[in-house]
């Protein structure tokens, strides 16, 4: 029985992987430099200094590598094929009877390993690193706010401590609105005793300030305790809503299992889950996006190998990567605006890319 993996597959895979890794390193490096320059404006706020900014950016590298990989894959693949074409090795392989389809499969197979690694990173290291980066920056800039993944968000103002399970920031009527869910307010006396405990289903901050919804308040004085409702109560607090918003766990910092649990919770309680659905389905379609993008670009590379050099192939790869990114972003926003299924929005771009690839292979079958 003949082996499915041949020597030429291994050779093409090695060349393509080397080009992808080099391209990936350059793009991630540029992104890191830009991210670090963006942190300079926050230096001096609280205890946020340059070493802290370096640590924040370093923690975010896995997430940046995960986001950039699809575009590095297509550009690196085209450069790898261009290297083979420049030494006439690709022509020799074609002369041996290898079709464009077979060569494209070799390229895609070489990317499967890196794609699988990125899927694993997107579920583990990337969200963990981004949470650490957000927590470190928040703690350095705002000394009275602390964030912990498993105990929710904590903040302090004078003798009052706030704890919220999670929250989200939305734009309503052109205004930024911060919503904290399952909130507890602890008022602590100078001797360490709890003077009052307020529980609210939600705390909302808008242009008018803080409001507590679905709340009850218990006050403690000696051996006596009193209880009352605080639904719709205006909460006079000077807590910085922007600092609290920075401490809210964002959908991109959650694993797929946590995203699914968050979506189910919001659906049960009639809350908006579109941001979580967007991130959740983007994770599932990530491998398909990588392979579709590369397979759709490869036929164009074959068509330009004799008529253009490396600059032309690089330009072609950048155009394809940016075009795919814009197409996917547009479909995602349309899904959020018109409330249709995100699975359709994320399936359409790779399907269009694969249809383009199939059409080109039909025109130039070989």
pLDDT of residue 1: 36
Q: Is the confidence at residue 281, as pLDDT, over 80?
A: yes
Q: Where are the domains of the chain?
A: 7-131+272-363, 154-248
Per-residue pLDDT at 21 = 93
Q: Which residues make Cβ contacts (< 8 Å) with residue 152, sequence separation at least 6?
A: 163, 164, 165, 166, 182
Of 250-264, 293-307, 309-323, minimum mean pLDDT range: 293-307
Instruction: Say if residues 328 and 270 touch (Cβ distance below 8 Å).
Output: no
Please state, in angstroms and rounded to a whole number, the distance separating the CA atoms of residues 65 and 312: 25
Alpha-carbon torsion, ordered 128, 132, 138, 141, to 10 deg: -150
For 69, the token pair is 């990989």
DSSP result, 208-266: TEEEEEEEEEEEEETTEEEEEE-TTEEE-----HHHHHHHSPPGGGS-HHHHHHHHHHH
- Whole-prediction pTM value? 0.73
**Which tens digit of pLDDT belongs to each residue from 64-98?**
999 999 888 888 888 887 777 667 666 676 666 66
Picking from 111-115, 271-275, 290-294, 345-349, which range would have the lowest pLDDT averaged per residue? 271-275
User: 97-147: per-residue pLDDT in tens?
Assistant: 666 667 777 777 888 888 999 999 988 898 888 888 887 887 777 665 555
3-state secondary structure of 169: strand
Backbone angles phi, psi at 202, to 5 degrees: -155, 140
Q: Span 191-213, mean pLDDT?
A: 78
Q: What Rg do the C-alpha atoms of the chain give, in angstroms?
A: 26
Quick one: pLDDT band at residue 364, thresholds 50, 70, 90? low
d(CA 298, CA 271): 43
Locus of tokens 């590598």 = 65
Three-state DSSP class for residue 49: coil
DSSP conformation class of 6: -
């Amino acid at each position: 029985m003949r082996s499915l993996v041949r020597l030429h597959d291994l050779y093409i895979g090695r060349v393509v992987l080397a080009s992808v890794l080099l391209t990936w390193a350059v793009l991630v490096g540029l992104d890191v430099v830009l991210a670090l320059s963006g942190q300079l404006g926050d230096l001096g706020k609280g205890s946020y200094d340059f070493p802290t900014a370096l640590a924040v950016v370093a923690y975010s590298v896995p997430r940046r590598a995960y986001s950039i990989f699809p575009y590095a894959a297509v550009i690196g693949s085209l450069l790898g094929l261009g290297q083979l074409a420049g030494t006439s090795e690709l022509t020799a392989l074609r002369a041996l009877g290898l079709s464009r389809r077979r060569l494209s499969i070799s390229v895609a197979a070489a990317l499967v390993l890196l794609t699988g690694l990125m899927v694993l990173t997107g579920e583990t290291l990337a969200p963990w690193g981004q949470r650490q980066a957000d927590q470190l920056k928040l703690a350095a800039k705002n000394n009275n706010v602390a964030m912990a993944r498993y105990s929710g968000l904590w903040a302090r103002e004078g003798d009052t401590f706030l704890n919220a399970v999670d929250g989200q920031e939305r734009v309503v009527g052109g205004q930024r609105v911060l919503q904290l869910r399952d909130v507890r307010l602890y008022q602590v006396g100078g001797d360490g005793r709890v003077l009052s405990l307020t529980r609210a289903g939600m705390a909302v901050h808008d242009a008018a300030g803080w409001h507590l919804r679905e709340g009850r308040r218990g006050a403690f004085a000696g051996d006596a305790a009193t209880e009352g409702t605080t639904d719709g109560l205006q909460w006079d607090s000077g807590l910085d809503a922007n600092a609290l918003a920075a401490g809210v766990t964002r959908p991109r910092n959650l694993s797929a299992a946590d995203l699914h649990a968050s979506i189910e919770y919001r659906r049960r309680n009639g809350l908006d889950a579109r941001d979580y659905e967007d991130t959740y389905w983007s994770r599932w379609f990530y491998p398909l996006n990588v392979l579709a993008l590369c397979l759709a670009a490869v036929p164009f590379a074959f068509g330009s190998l004799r008529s253009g050099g490396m600059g032309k192939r690089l330009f072609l790869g950048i155009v394809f990567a940016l075009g795919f990114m814009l197409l996917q972003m547009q479909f995602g926003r349309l899904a959020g605006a018109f409330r249709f299924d995100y699975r359709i929005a994320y399936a359409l771009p790779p399907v269009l890319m694969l249809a383009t690839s199939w059409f080109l292979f039909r025109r130039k079958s070989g």
